[in-house]
Structure 1
Amino acid sequence: MTPTTPTTPHSGWYLLAFRSELPVEPSPLAIGDRQLVALREGERVRVFDAACPHRGAHLGYGGRRESDCLVCPFHGRRIALGDSSRAWSVAEYPVLLWGDAVFARLSDDPAGDRGFERAVKEYADDYPLVPAVSLPVAVDAAYVVENAFDADHFKAVHKVPGVRGMTAGPGPSGELTVEGEFLMQTSPWQDERRKEEVRWQAIRTNTVRWDYRPRFLARAYSPGVVVTEFGPENDVQVIVTGAVPTAGGCTARVAVAVRENQHGALPVLIEGSRKALAEDKVVWEHLVPGAPERLDGRDAPVVAFRDFCADFPAAPEAFR
């Protein structure tokens, strides 16, 4: 059980929230011990440090918006939003919106992007993200994204009949990729009637045919965000998995997307994502603390992901 949630959050992207999780303004949020506050401005979402620079009050609890300031609930001082030229201000962080998902990065250093901003622009129009699940999990956040790089768990935990390939390597912008192929009788997004027909055909003929061989391509843009393309070229689904560290472990979030002509598959994809995360949670929350690990060649993508995380810069100090 090697991965541990760092005391200092990393400087890369997080799937911080879904818009439906920001019903009030201001909305208090957190990444590990980093306290944040979110504000909505029409379709725009902005994220700031939450600690008042006067006496440390949390601006997300009782703070009041006035123009380009938040009025502190403790002493009533006006705290400027992201304007370091003002006497009292809080830092603003980069935010990307993709469908209903809100992504934030705890640094404005371009080195922390790893190509994610470009990827969102390329996906957003054809694949608007829809929330599938947001789930507290009592495990280090590192395990959630690492799962995309763990080939054997797909068979053992999620009962995928076969997995081939799963080779990991760096992408052009510093992201980490892993690519392979699943061997399945039929698409997991088919309706249950079609799945049952395929099962009965296999029984009658005593032959199992792996007629559905979807491509699996996952790209980790930070230790906290991975974007997966799943399916044949003409029927690709996009699944985004993220993890935000908390005091008790993390909050795991999954969002999914399909092209406009595939909307019939969306409910099954959402339900499948919920089921898969619930299956993972059972394993994660019963890992034996302090147990040694003996990784072998089949774990090479997992090792590559851990090296990717170890090389990721820590977030700057909150109080600037």
Structure 2
Amino acid sequence: MTHQDRAAATAPSTAASAPRAVASAPHTGWHLFAFLSELTGGLTPLAIGPRRLIAVEQDERVRLFDANCPHRGAHLGIGGTLEGDCVICPFHGKRIALGDRANRRWAVREYPVLRWGQALFTRFGSDDADERGFPEALARFAATHPLVPALTRAIAAPADLIVENAFDGDHFTALHKVPKVTGMQARTGEAGELVIEGEFLMQTSPWQDDRAKEEVRWQAVRTGVVRWDYRPRFLARAFSPGVVVTEFGPPGRTHVIVTAASATATGCVARVAIGVSAGHEGELGMLIEGSHKAIGEDISIWENLDHTAEPHYDAGDDPVLAFRAFCAGFGRTQ
């Protein structure tokens, strides 16, 4: 047995140390890499695809670094010890500087971190064009719609399929039973993000109690007239293949839903976070419940798609094809 074979046979089985040969390198651009509740204090091992990472919590600040020790590749987040601005490697005890790669022999790369409520985002790649206006959007929403985690779930499907869902207008009626959807045309935003906008036509708000909903339904049965009294706007912006921010609701009552997915060795991890508009915090529970229901319905499709089947697209798939072209504009990290 070669030393490479021995290393593979004894590799840790944690998600943070997934085999590098299984998943492709993560795309450049933005990733929602964790919620604050996923961090353990001090050092937390994480991964996006085969890229092993450590999150470091210091003085209420979260920083993100490569996890591989530059000496022999030990995982600094598994057994490493944080000392000031260094991590003591668990393998040979070397002091590994956090981010100071220009001035220190032993150092690991740092990645930018943006915080929005309880959600933590990073960006891979050095091309500023891959920002696509996300920092500005985050700053605009963060004060009025702080994000709360709704779900984190492992899914046996490609990561970009989860974000692509926002651009698949027909599935909202067929799968999620939205009575009627109008618009849903994709376009490029001012900062290079991909935008889709439409309107959902419903008899009543999904946030009303069940008794009020039932009364509206019976009124339609009695009169024979269906009234679309609740017409929320749907406005989604993809800032990378792995992050889409959706504004949903009528004027003055718009909620923000962030859907993100990062690759794993067996598919992806999907995260959904929600920011409710001021004065409507009582709707948060129903929004979280609705997110779980919708993702559950989606998973039954995603995990049973035949990705080798030849697709036959029609005009309704134009926004999906626009999303795939958008994804092709991002590179892969080294």
TM range (shorter): over 0.9
1:53 maps to what in 2? 70
User: What's the TM-score, normalizing by structure 1?
Assistant: 0.95
Q: Which of the numbers 262, 266, 272 marks the counterpart of 2:280?
A: 262
- Aligned mates of 2:185, 2:213 — CA distance in 1: 29
| 1:120 aligned residue (134, 138, 146) | 138
Residue 92 of structure 1 corresponds to 110
Give unpaired runs (5+ residues) of structure 2.
1-21
Which residue of 255, 278, 294 maps to 1:237? 255
Deviation digits for residues 38-92 of structure 1 (CA, Å, limit 9, x no counterpart): 0112332110000000000011101100000011011010000011121110000
Match of 2:39 among 15, 18, 22: 22
1:86 maps to a residue whose letter is R
Is 1:74–2:91 an aligned residue pair? yes
Q: Distance between the aligned counterparts of 2:228 and 2:243, measured in 1?
A: 31
Q: Classify the secondary structure of the residue corresponding to 2:279.
A: helix
Distance 2:130 2:58 in 1: 25
Aligned length: 312
| 1:160 corresponds to | 178
Q: How does 1:209-248 map to 2 (within 5 A)?
A: 209-248=227-266
- C-alpha separation between the residues in 1 aligned to 2:199 and 2:23? 33
Question: Which whole-Å CA distance do the structure 2 matches of 1:174 and 1:168 have between them?
Answer: 12
Secondary structure of the residue that 1:313 maps to in structure 2? coil
Kept after mapping to 1: 8 A contact 2:276/2:284:
yes
CA contact (8 A) 2:23 2:50 kept: no
Aligned-residue identity in percent: 60
Task: Specify the alignment match of 1:146 in structure 2.
Answer: 164
Distance of 1:189 and 1:109 partners within structure 2: 41
CA distance in 2, matches of 1:194, 1:41: 49
Question: Contact between 1:190 and 1:265, CA under 8 Å: does it hold in 2?
Answer: no
Q: How does 1:31-46 map to 2 (within 5 A)?
A: 31-46=48-63
The partner residue of 1:62 within 57, 79, 85 is 79
| C-alpha distance in structure 2 between counterparts of 1:260 and 1:180, whole Å | 23
**Separation in 1, partners of 2:293, 2:61:** 31
- How far apart, in 2, do the equivalents of 1:16 and 1:303 lie? 26
1:186 & 1:41 partners in 2: Cα distance?
Answer: 47
| 1:104 counterpart residue number | 122
Structure 1 gaps of 5+ residues are: none
CA distance, structure 2, for counterparts of residue 217 and residue 37 of structure 1: 34
Does structure 1 residue 197 correspond to structure 2 residue 212? no
Partners of 1:93 and 1:107 within 8 A in 2: no
Higher RCO (Cα < 8 Å, 6 or more apart): 1
Q: Partner residue of 2:314?
A: 296
How far did 1:6 drift? 7.1
CA RMSD, 1 decimal: 1.2
Q: Deviation string for 1:203-234 (max 9, x for gaps)?
A: 22122111111111000000000000001111
Q: In structure 1, what is the equivalent of residue 197 of structure 2?
A: 179
Q: CA deviation at 1:107?
A: 2.6
**TM-score, with normalisation over the residues of structure 2?**
0.91
**Which 4+ runs in 1 deviate beyond 4 A?**
none
1:251 and 1:98 map into 2 onto residues whose CA distance is: 19
Structure 1: how far apart are the matches of 2:292 and 2:115? 22
What are the residue-to-residue correspondences of 1:265-280 with 2, within 5 Å? 265-280=283-298
**Kept after mapping to 1: 8 A contact 2:23/2:265:** no
Compute the displacement of 1:264 (Å): 1.1
| Aligned partner of 1:250 among 259, 268, 281 | 268
**Separation of aligned partners in 2, 1:11 and 1:199:** 47
Inter-partner Cα distance in structure 2 for 1:194 and 1:57: 59
1:64 partner letter: T
